[in-house]
Amino acid sequence: MGIQVKPGKILINNEWTESLSGKRFDVINPATEEKLTDCAEGDKKDIERAVLAARRAFESGAWKKMSARERGRILNRAAQLLEKHRHEIAELETLNNGKPISETLHVDLPLAIETFEYYSGLADKIHGETIPVNGPFLNYTLREPAGVVGQIIPWNFPLLMAAWKLGPALATGCTVVLKPAEQTPLSALRLGELLIEAGLPAGVLNIVTGFGPTAGAALAQHMDVDKVAFTGSTGVGKMVMKMASETNLKRVSLELGGKAPNIIFADSDLDAAVNGALRGIFFNQGEVCCAGSRLFVEKSVHDEFLSKLKTKAEKLVVGNPLDPKTQMGAQVSEEQFKKILSYVEQGKKEGAKVITGGTPAQNKGYFIKPTVLEGVTNQMTVAREEIFGPVVCALSFTNTEDLIHQANDTIYGLSAGIWTRDIGKAHRFAKEVKAGTVWINCYNQFDAASPFGGFKQSGFGRELGEHALELYTQVKSVWVSLD
């Protein structure tokens, strides 16, 4: 441990440059509240430069002429380089984001590596089809890259979200302008270095650090961007979609917020369910879009379950993210820290009871104790809005028909959890819950091969798996007369 964190620049056409304005912004270590480094503050003019580089690389550069198999080899080399530098990048991610080193090293990095490996193998397997049409014609389809893609990623999983976006986009032959979150730009910049080292041609990946209202908005509005992919809050996602529709009607995919129901039936393995509930809400300090933040517990086991949950929550080690024993680190920023605590206060005003946590965990740094609220109803603010922190809202149920209504009574539909020994009941509920991912007797399981995305206002389009290729390709139908 003890890496040197260098100042960040903008990547355009495989060259590291300052922003045209010369402005820079500070990057803060959330565990210490101290400046970590600073980065170039890109804006609309820098986005213009980046999009131009991406367009040239797409239309006439080496990327267009490269075979799909060679694209796959570059992605595989990127995976190997991530593996080689995994300890360095894990520490960089922990310093910048505040999450425990145990998570960056054993969750974020392996999943990012797996994503590049997976799409390296798919690169030369993207193909069209022949269709038996009427008449003397040969009809076939081509699946072609969408073009220049703008990708805007969030601060909760900076490296992993970059991998989720870049893997399929690069595999399909698209070129990219990536805008990392201003809070956490460092791992994306390091990934850019590794992709260049892996052999990515100039202009294929361009990275512009900066702020949403300037750099992000310029990317979403740009007339020469063919597709924009955004992960973040539902409110900002709506703005991105509006911007895209008001310019060139570029294609949009959105992975947005969530308010997942995590349902505990009385016939479940309660100890396993408690551990699953802990993982569902306190993993990554609760800064997870699919967090199991609404905990529905069957009334007959409600008190026993919450007692076990409270005991285990209070034993979680909250502190220095670089300590391998730490289980919960710091929230990403002062803004997020204050927002989470304000939600706890709002819950108390509306009648919820804090049975553990709800206060800062350290004198310095943006640490919050694992928090459990009970006596919550589905109409309270804490049950309606995404808190995005280590706060779980416990609700009791008796009627299973009403449970489905309550579980689905939300604007979101990203994920859900079901805990029961009755597998038939589990499958019935999995079918009834309106969510893009349903975990049965587990929580927060991911794999590069399995699609992830939302229903309702949790967005549309699917990350990961073969389904993600649909986001970055378009289908062309070709007719040939045989007469």
Q: What is the dihedral of CA 384, 390, 395, 399, to 10 degrees?
A: 90
Count the neighbouring beta carbons within 10 Å of the beta carbon of residue 9: 19
Write down the number of H helices and E strands in the chain.
16, 20
User: How far is residue 281's CA from residue 199's CA, in Å, rounded to a whole number?
Assistant: 39
Pairing type for strands 34-40 and 473-481 reads unpaired
Q: How far apart are CA 113 and CA 117, in angstroms?
A: 6
DSSP of 432-456: HS--SEEEES--S---TTS-B--SG
* Active site annotation includes 15: no
Q: What's the burial of 109, exposed, middle or buried (CB within 10 Å: 0-12/13-18/19+)?
A: buried
State both tokens at 279.
């993982």
Closest CA to 204 of 9, 76, 13, 66: 13
Q: Which of 39, 174, 289, 290 is catalytic?
A: 289
Instruction: Kindly tell me the burial class for residue 222, based on how many C-beta atoms sit within 10 Å of its own C-beta (0-12, 13-18, 19 or more).
Output: buried
Q: What residues does 263 pair with on adjacent strands?
A: 296, 418
Residue 471 phi/psi, 5-degree rounding, is: -70, -30
Cα–Cα nearest to 293, from 360, 368, 384, 408: 384
Q: Are 186 and 5 in contact (CB under 8 A)?
A: yes
What are the two backbone dihedrals, phi and then psi, of residue 243, each rounded to the nearest 5 degrees?
-60, -45
Please indicate whether residue 33 is annotated as part of the active site. no
Query: Residue 306: how many CA atoms within 13 Å on its side-chain side?
Result: 23
Please give the sequence-ordered ranges of beta strands (E in DSSP) within 137-197, or none if there are none. 137-145, 148-152, 175-179
Per-residue CA distances from 83 to 2, 75, 88, 200, 354 (Å): 19, 13, 10, 18, 42
Alpha-carbon span 424 to 246, nearest angstrom: 47
Q: Positive or negative, the Cα torsion across 217, 219, 221, 222?
A: positive
Which residue is catalytic, options 117, 255, 287, 298? 255
- Say if CB 75 and CB 81 are below 8 A apart: no
Catalytically active residues, by annotation? 255, 289
